[in-house]
Structure formats: C-alpha cells, structure tokens
Amino acid sequence: MTAPVLTIKNLTARFPGTVKPCLDAVSLTVAPGETMAIVGESGSGKTVLGLSVLNLLAGQLDYSPESQIILQDTPILSAAPNTLQSLRGRIASCIFQEPMTALNPLQRLGKQLSEGLTLHQPGLSRSELDRKIHAVFQDVELPPALINRYPHQLSGGQRQRVLIALALLNDPLLLIADEPTTALDAHLRHQLLALLKKIQAQRNLAVLLITHDLHLVRQWAHRVMVLQHGRVVESGEKAALLAHPQEAYTRQLFNQQYPPNPTPKAANGAAPIVSLRGVGVSVKGQGSFWKSSQHTILAPLSVDVLPGQTLGVIGESGSGKTTLARALLRLMPSVGEIIIAGKNWQTLQGKALRAARSAMQIVFQDPFGSLNPRLLIEQIIVEGWRGTAKPDCSALLAQVGLPADFARRYPHELSGGQRQRVALARALAVKPQVLVLDEPTSALDANVAAEVVVLLQKLQAEQGLTYILVSHDLNVIRALSHQVLVLKGGQVVEGGSITEVFGKPKDDYTKILLGSVDN
C-alpha cells in the first residue's frame, strides 16, 4: 500500500484564552492521487485544519501535546521555520479561496510566479524560469499573453487558474484546495473542476479539499470527513457516506434545500420603483496615440421592477452583471435613465445624490472585506447614518436575527453568516427601499446560505423591500427572484418572469446556464 503524503493524528487546538477546542482529536490521511474532502458549516474548523497542515497559524493557536501532523515524514508542529519554508510550496501548496486577495495587485503575474520558483530553485536561469512559467500556464490552460498582465486585468476564472499555476510551480505532492471554486459561476466551476481532476491524474497529486460546495465533493472527492464544532461527525468513502449518512447533521448538510420563492404582494397598478431606460456602459479601449476608442461592456437595456419584488440578474463571469449593479449605484459612468423611487439618478449631483443614496443600498459579496475590521459592529451599522434620529442598533440586529450583545464585537469575532447579517443590518439602517445584493450567499456554506435566503425573504415580506439580485447561484435566484435578466457578453439575451425563464427558456445560452445548475 502506498504511504500517505499527509497524516494527522489526534489534532486538538484552541485559540489562546479559550476553553473549547476549535479542533478536537481530528485524525486523517491523504494518499497520492487521492482527494480527501473536509466539509462542514461555517465555524466547523475546516479552514483551521487546512492552515494547520503547513503550520500557518503558529502563535495563533495552542496545539495539544498529543497532536501530530506528518507531511512526508516531517513532523510539522515541531519543525523549524527554515524547514517549514522549504516545505511550503515544494511539498505542499495551497489554492486560496479569494484570488484577488492572494495575488499581489502591484506585480505582473510573471513576476509573482518567478518569485515562487526562485525561492525553491534559486539556480534557475532567466530562460529556465520563463520556460517553467510558460509550461505551468499551459497546464492550467491560460494563454502566455496573460503572463505580463496584472491580476485586475483578468476575469475571475483566469485569476483562479493563476492561483492553481502558482500552487503547481514547484511540483508539490499535496495540494490544499480551500474553496477553489466558490466565487465562480456554474459553467466556470465545471471547467475548473475538469482542469483540476486532469492535473491531479497527470501528477498523481494528493488533494485536501476544503469546501462547502457539495457538488464539488460529489464530483471530485474519494473520501469525505464531516466536521462540526471542530469534531469529526463521520468519515468514510464518498459513495457510502453520501448514500447512507449515519448522522442527522450530515443528512442536513447534504440535503439542504432553499425555501420556495414566495408570491410577491399584489402591486395593483403601482409604478415601478426601479426603472431603467437605455442604460449602458462603455469604457475607453486602447486607441491610437492621439485618441482612444470606446468599448461597450454593457449594451443599453431597459427594465422595470415593481415595489416589493426581486429582479435576478444571471450570466457567466464577464457577462456584465456587476457592471449593471455598479451603474445602478452610480459607481461608474453610464448612459440612459436610472429612475429610483421617482428620481433620475443620472441628473443628481453632490448633496442631492448623497441624499438620494439612502433609497438604495448594497450588500457586498464578501462580508469580511466589506466591514471595517477596526470598528465595533455598532459603529459599522450606524456608520452611514445622517440626521437627527439615530438608528436603534439593537433593533436592527434583532431584525437580522442577531443578539443585541453583538454590537460590542468586532467583525473577526463573527462567523461568515453572522457578518453577512451585519452587512444587511448596516444597509437597513438608512431605511432603503431598494437593496442591491451582490452574490449575497457565495461565501457561505449551504446551511448558512439557506438561513440568509430565509432572512431576505422575511425582510422583503415585512418591509416591502425591492431587491436587485446579482448571483451565479441559480438556486438562490430561483428562491428569491420574481423576474430575471439573462446577460451574455454585456447583452440581454432573455428576460421575463422567473416561471417563464426557468420553466421554458428560449435562448440556447439560457438553456446551457440552467443545465449547469448544481443538483
């Protein structure tokens, strides 16, 4: 039998000053060519386990004396810093969840890849470096022309492939994949999964997969370990565990369903609260020396949204979804009319625009990145308040299902789902009529995502809120939307009620998107 690349025995860890362990007697092995998936809800200990493999939390966690992490015969928890440095990237590499955070925005991609190579292979010549960088770009199916670009000049799928290239540079034996497909649409997730499986087969890689994407687990994993509050609930071969889960927690985790889309309140001839007429976006392209050309990234579109209803905007990465959301919020220049609550936002300037902004707020995709880490939750929630009647922080927390004492906590002290609820409370503090929801559940596990969807349905029913929902998760779109716009390459290819578009799609592209829904 082939010796495992990674062995973990009785791994128990606590954050300093706490009694309850965040990892409690966890044991596992990962063999060459095998994918071991670690699943569990937010706060279960998945990421702490993954970071511990390379001792990336040294000084931030207290490990019990009996804890062992053996990476190709090296005891990680007692290894010297120079030994750990030689292992990181060479024996085991990480694919991190958020490529824009993991990549240096100030350096071209070729420079970043060169650094990873020269650290472990300092004797390489410039030509050898270039050859290896081109070869790994070919492995991850990226064109060589991208080597000289910056991260912001790539799409989300391309940036994720760059992270994979960085992880593969020095031919590691173990790949730690931490939510490698979370921020991607369904079509790109299928492409990236096929790529990862091909690379694993070619290199006989051991993979420790940390994810809340249960479709990824079904398609890629060989064995599965389920964590809850740092403890192993159950573990075993994927097929057996999925077919016959023994624990109620596992059954709930793998069979989570979003609640059905509620019927909207009758509008009775009400005027649209959001009305777009010929809204489009163009940016300057590369032109001649004395002039620049215009490049259309969102073709002019028109749509109305009634009060208390939800417009879902779907499409693959680069389709124009986020561009539309930014144009709506006047965060980028656009043409056409944007009528929000009876006011044409395109004509508003200065104080008038700032005053109107309270009518439309946004909830961002990454709740941790959108909350100021230096402010208390109470300060964050009332940050946008202007006027005489200060918002009741306790009441706002109660509206989003959080206890009042959370007001004195910082964002890092909350789970992902709790932070997203805080982001909602902050948006509600100025009493908006319209919320723009930018991928509100993509960073959350299935259980927590379902809780957030239920909360959004409840808030809409109670307060008559109107949502503009931008998402690549078509299950979330189905659960919240009343009408849908389908974008491709900045063009509207189809639109209509959720029943029409999802039940009887007319355009071939829409049919492909709906066929990619993860079941």
Domain ranges of the chain: 1-91+176-255, 104-171, 274-282+292-515
Helix (H) or strand (E) holding 377: helix 377-381
pLDDT band at 1 (very low <50, low <70, confident <90, very high): low
Order across the sheet with 231-237: list the strands: 92-95, 174-178, 206-210, 35-39, 223-228, 231-237
pTM here? 0.76
> At residue 269, does pLDDT exceed 80?
no
> Do residues 325 and 436 make contact, with C-beta atoms less than 8 angstroms apart?
yes
Q: Going along 31-91, which residue ranges are E strands? A: 35-39, 62-63, 68-71, 74-75
Q: Report d(CA 181, CA 325) in Å as an integer.
A: 22
d(CA 318, CA 489): 7
**398: Cβ contacts below 8 Å, ≥ 6 apart:** 404
H or E, element range at 6? strand 6-14
- Cα–Cα distance, 182 to 189 (Å, whole number): 8
Asked whether the beta carbons of 354 and 361 are under 8 A apart, the reply is: no
Three-state secondary-structure class, residue 329: coil
| Burial group, residue 299, by CB count within 10 angstroms (0-12, 13-18, 19+) | middle
Distance CA 223, CA 221 (A): 6
Q: Where are the beta strands (DSSP E) in 72-183?
A: 74-75, 92-95, 174-178
pLDDT digits (tens, 9 = 90+) for 320-365: 888 899 999 999 999 999 999 999 999 999 999 988 999 999 998 7
The alpha carbon of 249 is separated from its chain's Cα centroid by a whole number of angstroms, namely 24
Instruction: Please tell me which residue, 222 or 158, carries the higher pLDDT value.
Output: 222
Same fold, 1-91+176-255 and 274-282+292-515: yes
Sheet bearing 274-284, strands edge to edge: 294-305, 274-284, 335-340, 343-344
d(CA 299, CA 309): 24
Please give the pLDDT value at position 266: 56
* pLDDT above 90 for 235: yes
Rounded Cα–Cα distance for residues 118 and 121 (Å) = 5
Beta-strand runs (E) in 211-273? 223-228, 231-237
What is residue 141's predicted lDDT score, i.e. its pLDDT?
85
What residue type is 516 in one-letter code?
Answer: S
Average pLDDT over the chain reads 88
Q: Which DSSP symbol is given to 17?
A: T
Q: Is the pLDDT of residue 280 over 90?
A: yes
Lowest mean pLDDT among 139-148, 221-230, 336-345: 139-148
Decide if 451 contacts 419 (C-beta within 8 A). Answer: no
CA distance 105 to 489: 25
Chain mean position to CA 372? 19
CA angle, residues 26, 32, 33, in degrees to nearest 5: 110
Kindly report the CATH number that applies to the domain delimited by 1-91+176-255: 3.40.50.300
**What CATH number has the domain spanning 274-282+292-515?**
3.40.50.300
Model confidence at 265, pLDDT cuts 50, 70, 90, reads: low
**Mean pLDDT for the stretch of residues 420-438:** 93
The sign of the torsion formed by the CA atoms of 183, 188, 190, 196 equals negative
What DSSP element (H or E) covers 112?
helix 109-120
CB 189 within 8 A of CB 216: yes
pLDDT tens readout for residues 383-418: 877 766 788 999 999 999 899 999 999 988 887 778
pLDDT digits (tens, 9 = 90+) for 187-223: 777 778 888 899 999 999 999 999 877 888 988 999 9
CB-side exposure of 384: number of CA atoms within 13 Å? 22
Q: Pick the range with the lowest mean pLDDT from 34-43, 58-67, 264-273, 479-488.
A: 264-273
Mean pLDDT of 122-137: 89
